[in-house]
Structure 1
Amino acid sequence: MALRHCLGACLLVAVALSPAAADDALTLKDAVARAVADNPELALGEQRGRAADARSQRAGQPPPLELGLELENIAGTGQSRGLSGAETTLMLSRTIERGDKAVRRRGLAEERGALVRTEADIRRLDLLARVARRFVHVVRDQRLLEVAEEAVTLARQARTQAQRRVDAGAAPASEAARADIALAEAELELEHAEHELKATRVSLASLWGERQPGFSRARADLYALPPADDLDALVAALMRNPQLRRLAGQHRIADARRRLAAARQSTDVTLSGGVRRREAMNDTAFVLGLSVPLGSDARAQPGIRAAQAEAAASQRELEAARREFYAVLYGRYQELQHARTELKTLRERILPAADSALSDIRNGYGRGRYSYLELVDAQRGLIEHRRRAIRAAEHYHRHLIEIERLTGSSAAAVNKDS
C-alpha cells in the first residue's frame, strides 16, 4: 500500500516533469525504479515484516502440552534400595487459559506487525520523496545552467557593443573595461552552475549506488505545474500519512496491551493426568491433578493501570500530532499557491516586460540613447527574473512533494507510465 502512496507522491511530479529529450535522459519514473530496485532499507523492512507475521502466529498458540516423569523412593535403604521400592509417575499436563489470553496475545502481536509494516512504509516514502526532491533539484540546475549560458551571451554582446562605442570615441575606455569585468563575472557564474549541476546529478545517482551518473540529463518540464487537490480534500486525506498511521498503530498496541493485562485477571487452570507405577506392590494406578494460582486479580492490577495510562498517553500524542500535521499541511498549501502565483506573474508579466525593455535598451545603447549602466541593469534584471521563475517552479514542485508525502496520496498513480 505504501509503495502505491509513495509513487503517488513522486509521480504527481512526474506528470509535470516529462517531455522527451536524449535517449539516455532520465525520467522521474526511471529514478524511482532504480532507487527502489536494490535498496537495503526497503529489503530490511520486508524481512522485519515476515518476522512480525511469524511472531503473530506464535503468539496465538495455546500453552503446549507438557510431559513429565517423576521417580520416587529410589536409591534408598531397606525396601527402597535401588529401584525395588520405586514409584514412577508419567504425567501429561496443560494449562487452560481463561479470559481469551491467546486471542489477546495474537491481537497484540498483529498490531506490532502492522506497526512494523507502517515503519517500512515510512522508510519507502522517505526514500521516494528524497528521489523526487533530488530529481527536481537536477532539473532546476539544468535550467539555471541555461540561464547562466544566456547571461554569458548577453555579457559578450554588451562587451562587443561597448568596445564599438569606445573605438568610435563615443565612450571612455573604462566602459569596455567594465564590460570585460561583467563578462568575467558571468563566466564565473556559468562555471559555478556547471559544478552545481554535476554535484546534484551525482547526488541523485547515489540513491541507486552510482558514483558516475549514467544519464545525460533529467527529462523534465519544470514549468508544467500539476494541480493539487483543494485544502479540504488534503486535510481529509491527512490520516493516510504514515507518521500518523504509526502513532495510531502505537495507540492500538497500547490498547491491545490493556486488553491483555485485563485478561490476566482471569485465573488459569492447569490440568494433569498420568499413570503411576509402584514397584513394591507391582501395581499401576491413574493420577489426576489440578492446580490454580492464587491472587491473579491482585497481581494483574498494576499491569492494567500501566497499560491504561500508556493507552491514554498514546491517544493524546496522536491528537497532538494531528494538529501539528494540519498546521504543516496548511502552511505548505499556502506556499504552494504562492509559488504558482509567483511563477504565473513572472512568466506572463515580468519576463516579457524585462525582455522587451532589454531589447529596447540594447538597440538604444548602440545609438547612444542609453548608458552602459542602464544596459547592464536591464541584462541583470532579465537574468535575475529568469532565475526567480526557476526557483518559483522548483518551490512549487518541492511543496507538492511534501504535501503528497504528508497525505500519503496516490492520486497520480494512474500516470505511472509518464
Structure 2
Amino acid sequence: MSTLRIWCERWLALALCLLASPAHAQLTLPEAVARALDNNPFLQVFPLREQAAAARTDTAKQDPGYAIGIEAENLAGNGTLSGTDNAEYALSISSVIELGDKRKARTALANTRYARTALEHKAAALDLVATVTQGFVSALSLKHQILVEERALALTNETLDVISRLARKGAVPEADRLRAKAQQSQAELNLAALKAEYDAEKQSLASLWGEPQAGFNDVEGNLFSFANATDFPSLRRRVERSPELAILASERRMAEAELALARSQSSANINWRLGVRHEQFSGDSALTASLEIPLFSAARNRGEEKAAHAEFNSQSYRREDRELKLGARLYRAWQAFQQNQLAAKTLQTRIIPTLESAQSQT
C-alpha cells in the first residue's frame, strides 16, 4: 500500500496545494488522503480480487486431468449370460492431449486478467484521491463561507441595533426596523444551513476511510495557495501514462490472449484411453487402448475465432477514443485552473485592496 500511496500522491500535484501545519482535531489534505488510501473499504476488495486472479492463473497452468474408468459387460443377463460366469471387466485410465498450445493460451489469458486487476486497483486508488480532494476542498470552502456568514450576521445585528435605536426615537419608520429584523433572521438561517452542510461534508469525508463519525472538528488548509501551473504538454504526457489508458491497453492484451485461445480451439484434442480387460469365463486378460479425435474442429470454431478477432480489432479504436476524450477533459480542466488562479490572484492583489481602500475613505 505504501508504493500505491506514493504513486497517488504524485498525481495529487494536479489538485490544489492545500498544505497547513497540523493542529489538534484538525484535518489536512495529506492526512485525509493517507487515511483513505490505508482504510477505504472499497480498496480492501482489490487485494482479494488479485488473490482470486492469481488462483485462476494457477488453475489455467494445469495440464488436463486423468480419469479412471471401470466397465463391466455380459453379466446378469439370461441364458449363457446369466450370472457373472461370462462377464468381462475392464479397468482403464484416460486423459486428453491438448494440441494448438491451448495451455499456453489459457495461461496467457489468465495472466492478462491478473494484470488488469492490478491496474484497476491503481485506478481506483487514484479515483479515491480525487474524491478525497474534491470533498476536502468543498469542506474547506464551506468553512470559509461560514466565516463570511458569521461576519454578515454580526453586521446585521449591528444594523438592527442602530435602526432599533433610531426607530425608538422616531427617526426612522418601524418598517425599517422590521426589515432589518427579517434580514437578521435570514442571516441566522443561512449560517445554520452552512453549518449543517459543513457537518455533512465532514461526515462524507470520514466515510471514505471507513469511520462512521468524523474524528476531527475542522479541515485546515489555504484555499488561495495554488500549486505551480504545469504546462499542458507535460500534463498530456501524464495522461498517456494514466491508469485508465493502461487498463484499456490491458484489455487489448486480454483480447489478444482471447483471440489466441480461440484459435487454439481450432486444433482438435486427442482423447486417449489405456486399460486392461479380463474375461471371467476364460480367465484371460489383455491390454486395451483407444484414441479419439473430434472431426471438423476448425470449421465449428470459425465463428468463435471471428468474434474474438473483431473484439481484438475494436480495442484500438476504444483506446484512441478514450485518449481523445481524456485529453479534451484535461484541457478544459487546465484552462479552468489557469483562469481560477488568475481570478484568485486578481481578487487578492487588486480588487479586495481597492475595495478596502475605498471603504476606509468613506
Shared fold by TM > 0.5? yes
Q: In structure 1, the residue corresponding to 2:219 is in which secondary structure?
A: coil
| Contact 2:88–2:277 under 8 Å retained in 1 | yes
- In the other structure, the counterpart of 1:8 is 10
- Note closer, same or farther for the CA distance 1:211–1:359 as it changes in structure 2 (3 Å cut): farther
Residue 92 of structure 2 corresponds to residue 88 of structure 1: no
- In the other structure, the counterpart of 1:62 is 63
Tell me which amino acid in the other structure corresponds to 1:360: Q
- In the other structure, the counterpart of 1:132 is 133
| Contact 1:69–1:90 under 8 Å retained in 2 | yes
Tell me the distance in 2 between the aligned counterparts of 1:128 and 1:6: 7
* 1:276-304 superposed Cα distances (whole Å, 9 cap, x missing partner): 22222222222222221111111121111
Alpha-carbon distance, 1:152 to partner? 3.9
* 1:361-385 superposed Cα distances (whole Å, 9 cap, x missing partner): 2xxxxxxxxxxxxxxxxxxxxxxxx
- Note closer, same or farther for the CA distance 1:10–1:228 as it changes in structure 2 (3 Å cut): same
Q: Which moved more, 1:196-205 or 1:218-227?
A: 196-205
Tell me which amino acid in the other structure corresponds to 2:108: G
Alignment of 1:120-269 (within 5 A): 120-154=121-155, 173=172, 177=177, 186-269=187-270
| Contact 1:11–1:29 under 8 Å retained in 2 | no
Tell me the distance in 2 between the aligned counterparts of 1:282 and 1:93: 25
Gaps of 5+ in 2: none
Tell me the distance in 1 between the aligned counterparts of 2:240 and 2:258: 23
Residue 291 of structure 2 corresponds to residue 290 of structure 1: yes
Tell me which amino acid in the other structure corresponds to 1:72: E
TM-score, normalised relative to structure 2: 0.86
Alpha-carbon distance, 1:340 to partner? 0.9
Q: In structure 1, the residue corresponding to 2:301 is in which secondary structure?
A: helix
Tell me the distance in 2 between the aligned counterparts of 1:124 and 1:89: 60
Q: Which moved more, 1:134-143 or 1:311-320?
A: 311-320
Q: In structure 2, the residue corresponding to 1:345 is in which secondary structure?
A: helix
Alignment of 1:377-396 (within 5 A): none
Q: In structure 1, the residue corresponding to 2:203 is in which secondary structure?
A: helix
Tell me which amino acid in the other structure corresponds to 2:241: R
Alpha-carbon distance, 1:34 to partner? 3.5
Alpha-carbon distance, 1:308 to partner? 0.9
Tell me which amino acid in the other structure corresponds to 1:354: L
- Note closer, same or farther for the CA distance 1:17–1:78 as it changes in structure 2 (3 Å cut): same
| Contact 1:144–1:193 under 8 Å retained in 2 | yes
- In the other structure, the counterpart of 2:325 is 324
Tell me the distance in 1 between the aligned counterparts of 2:99 and 2:5: 41
* 1:26-80 superposed Cα distances (whole Å, 9 cap, x missing partner): 1223323443444332222222221111111111212112222222222234543
Residue 347 of structure 2 corresponds to residue 346 of structure 1: yes
Higher helix share: 1
| Contact 2:40–2:210 under 8 Å retained in 1 | no
Gaps of 5+ in 1: 362-418
- In the other structure, the counterpart of 1:103 is 104
- Note closer, same or farther for the CA distance 1:191–1:92 as it changes in structure 2 (3 Å cut): closer
| Contact 1:264–1:296 under 8 Å retained in 2 | yes
| Number of equivalenced pairs | 357
Tell me which amino acid in the other structure corresponds to 2:309: Q
Alpha-carbon distance, 1:120 to partner? 3.4
| Contact 2:63–2:103 under 8 Å retained in 1 | yes
| Contact 1:9–1:129 under 8 Å retained in 2 | no
- Note closer, same or farther for the CA distance 1:242–1:220 as it changes in structure 2 (3 Å cut): same
- Note closer, same or farther for the CA distance 1:244–1:21 as it changes in structure 2 (3 Å cut): closer
Alpha-carbon distance, 1:236 to partner? 1.3
Alpha-carbon distance, 1:176 to partner? 7.4
Alignment of 1:30-49 (within 5 A): 30-49=31-50
TM-score, normalised relative to structure 1: 0.76
* 1:205-255 superposed Cα distances (whole Å, 9 cap, x missing partner): 233444543212112122211224321122112133333333333222222
Tell me the distance in 2 between the aligned counterparts of 1:2 and 1:245: 15
Tell me which amino acid in the other structure corresponds to 2:288: V
Alpha-carbon distance, 1:155 to partner? 5.0
Tell me the distance in 1 between the aligned counterparts of 2:22 and 2:148: 19
Tell me the distance in 2 between the aligned counterparts of 1:181 and 1:357: 29
Alignment of 1:367-382 (within 5 A): none
Alpha-carbon distance, 1:142 to partner? 1.4
| Contact 1:273–1:287 under 8 Å retained in 2 | yes
- Note closer, same or farther for the CA distance 1:334–1:278 as it changes in structure 2 (3 Å cut): same
- In the other structure, the counterpart of 1:25 is 26
- Note closer, same or farther for the CA distance 1:357–1:107 as it changes in structure 2 (3 Å cut): same
Alpha-carbon distance, 1:130 to partner? 1.6
- In the other structure, the counterpart of 2:304 is 303
Q: In structure 1, the residue corresponding to 2:218 is in which secondary structure?
A: coil
| Contact 1:155–1:186 under 8 Å retained in 2 | yes
Q: In structure 1, the residue corresponding to 2:257 is in which secondary structure?
A: helix
Alpha-carbon distance, 1:85 to partner? 1.8
What is the alpha-carbon root mean square deviation over aligned residues? Answer: 3.0
Higher RCO structure, 1 or 2 (CA under 8 Å, sep 6+): 1
Tell me which amino acid in the other structure corresponds to 1:114: A
Q: In structure 1, the residue corresponding to 2:111 is in which secondary structure?
A: helix
